[in-house]
């Protein structure tokens, strides 16, 4: 799970020498050994990379990056490579982490809160396309839920949500799970664990327990977007739409070559209720339908549950 990518500034350097596919996958394997907690699936990924790409001396290209991603996804769905033909950066020797987000960009986009609207029958749809840092996003999230007050049901629209910050996931989960602190997950890193809890919220700010909640997802719901849907589903909320891709790893941003940066796994999530996660399987909706039909399907589910 990662923040929205911001292009990393690099110093001007001479034109890079050609980097081969094998060089990129060798550097990728080195970083996977450094970053990822010990797991069988990472060992299998390393073996797959060696078998398929060792000795590949052709230059790295966008198509080759896509091929490497395809080989990696059965083992780590969030591993992504980004190719920039004109890139001139030096490969990373240390993990630089994610670039700091630009507050003005976040604020000008209302922290990706795209829509709040009342639907026929009194339900409220809240569309959030990404999870920005909570310090910047909270006013917009609070505003969305203020507009939803008194709604007959909540449709949380994550169909275009590409992920973001886990503290924002925890805050939103708290809004929808009654306002009392509950443990959501543990994230296992190579040398430590981090436990995520929902916050204790002021009285009257969480969605009331009797108000039905549906989480709308699609094949575009990714990373932390999947996390929120999964955690809510595990705690009794209904998920509607398409199965999600299955990207449960936390990732960091590493430059592998002048022309290639990667989102590489460095932690994995375990839900505190299920004891597992959605890696590789995706979030499987209770109400399966095309993404474009999810609003109607969710409203039908609400009507069917009304006495």
Per-residue pLDDT tens over the stretch 206-262? 999 899 999 999 999 999 999 999 999 999 999 999 999 999 999 999 999 999 999
Whether 135 and 222 map to the same domain: the answer is yes
Predicted local distance difference test score (pLDDT) of residue 1: 56
Whether 186 and 93 map to the same domain: the answer is no
Count of structural domains within the chain: 2
Residue span of the structural domain in which 94 resides: 15-99+250-266
Q: What is the C-alpha separation between 209 and 175, in angstroms, rounded?
A: 11
Predicted local distance difference test score (pLDDT) of residue 281: 97
Question: Residue 276: inside a domain, yes or no?
Answer: no
Stretch among 151-155, 175-179, 250-254 having the lowest mean pLDDT: 175-179
- pLDDT tens digit sequence for 275-304: 999 999 999 999 999 999 999 999 999 999
Whether 162 and 79 map to the same domain: the answer is no
CB atoms < 10 A from the CB of 151, how many?
A: 21
Predicted local distance difference test score (pLDDT) of residue 305: 82
Whether 141 and 217 map to the same domain: the answer is yes
Question: Residue 242: inside a domain, yes or no?
Answer: yes
Tokens of 98: 């994610």
Computed over every residue of the chain, the mean pLDDT equals 93
Q: Are 233 and 216 in contact (CB under 8 A)?
A: no
Question: Residue 120: inside a domain, yes or no?
Answer: yes
Whether 143 and 235 map to the same domain: the answer is yes
Whether 192 and 85 map to the same domain: the answer is no
Question: Residue 207: inside a domain, yes or no?
Answer: yes
Please, what's the largest Cα pairwise distance for the chain? Answer: 71
Question: Is residue 11 scored above 90 in pLDDT?
Answer: no
pTM here is: 0.92
Whether 145 and 215 map to the same domain: the answer is yes
Cα angle value 290/296/300 (rounded, 5°):
120
Question: Residue 9: inside a domain, yes or no?
Answer: no
Whether 38 and 125 map to the same domain: the answer is no
Question: Residue 91: inside a domain, yes or no?
Answer: yes
Q: What is the domain-level CATH number for residue 185?
A: 3.90.226.10
Question: Residue 183: inside a domain, yes or no?
Answer: yes
In whole angstroms, what separates CA 217 from the centre of its chain? Answer: 12
Tokens of 156: 């949380």
Residue length of the chain: 307
Whether 229 and 113 map to the same domain: the answer is yes
Whether 146 and 256 map to the same domain: the answer is no
Question: Residue 7: inside a domain, yes or no?
Answer: no
- pLDDT tens digit sequence for 96-128: 998 899 999 999 999 999 999 999 999 999 999
Predicted local distance difference test score (pLDDT) of residue 17: 63
Whether 169 and 133 map to the same domain: the answer is yes
Whether 51 and 120 map to the same domain: the answer is no
- pLDDT tens digit sequence for 259-279: 999 999 999 999 999 999 999
């Amino acid at each position: 799970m990662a923040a929205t990518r911001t292009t990393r500034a690099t110093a001007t350097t001479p034109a890079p020498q050609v980097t081969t596919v094998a060089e990129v996958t060798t550097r990728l394997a080195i970083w996977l050994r450094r970053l990822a907690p010990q797991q069988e699936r990472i060992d299998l990924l390393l073996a797959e990379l060696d078998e398929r790409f060792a000795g590949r001396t052709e230059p790295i290209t966008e198509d080759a990056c896509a091929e490497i991603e395809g080989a990696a996804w059965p083992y780590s769905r969030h591993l992504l490579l980004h190719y920039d033909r004109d890139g001139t950066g030096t490969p990373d020797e240390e993990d630089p982490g994610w670039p700091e987000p630009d507050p003005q960009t976040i604020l000008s986009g209302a922290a990706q809160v795209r829509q709040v609207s009342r639907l026929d029958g009194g339900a409220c749809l809240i569309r959030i396309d990404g999870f920005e840092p909570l310090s910047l996003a909270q006013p917009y999230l609070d505003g969305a839920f203020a507009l939803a007050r008194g709604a007959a049901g909540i449709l949380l629209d994550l169909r275009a949500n590409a992920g973001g910050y886990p503290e924002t996931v925890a805050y939103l989960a708290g809004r929808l799970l009654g306002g009392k602190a509950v443990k959501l997950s543990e994230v296992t890193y190579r040398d430590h664990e981090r436990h995520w809890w929902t916050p204790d919220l002021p009285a009257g700010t969480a969605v009331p327990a009797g108000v039905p909640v549906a989480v709308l997802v699609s094949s575009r719901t990714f990373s932390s977007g999947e996390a929120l849907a999964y955690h809510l589903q595990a705690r009794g909320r209904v998920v509607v739409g398409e199965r999600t891709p299955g990207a449960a790893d936390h990732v960091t941003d590493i430059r592998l070559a002048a022309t290639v940066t990667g989102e590489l796994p460095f932690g994995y999530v375990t839900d505190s209720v299920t004891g597992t996660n959605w890696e590789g399987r995706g979030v499987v909706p209770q109400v399966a339908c095309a993404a474009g039909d999810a609003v109607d399907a969710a409203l039908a589910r609400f009507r069917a549950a009304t006495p």
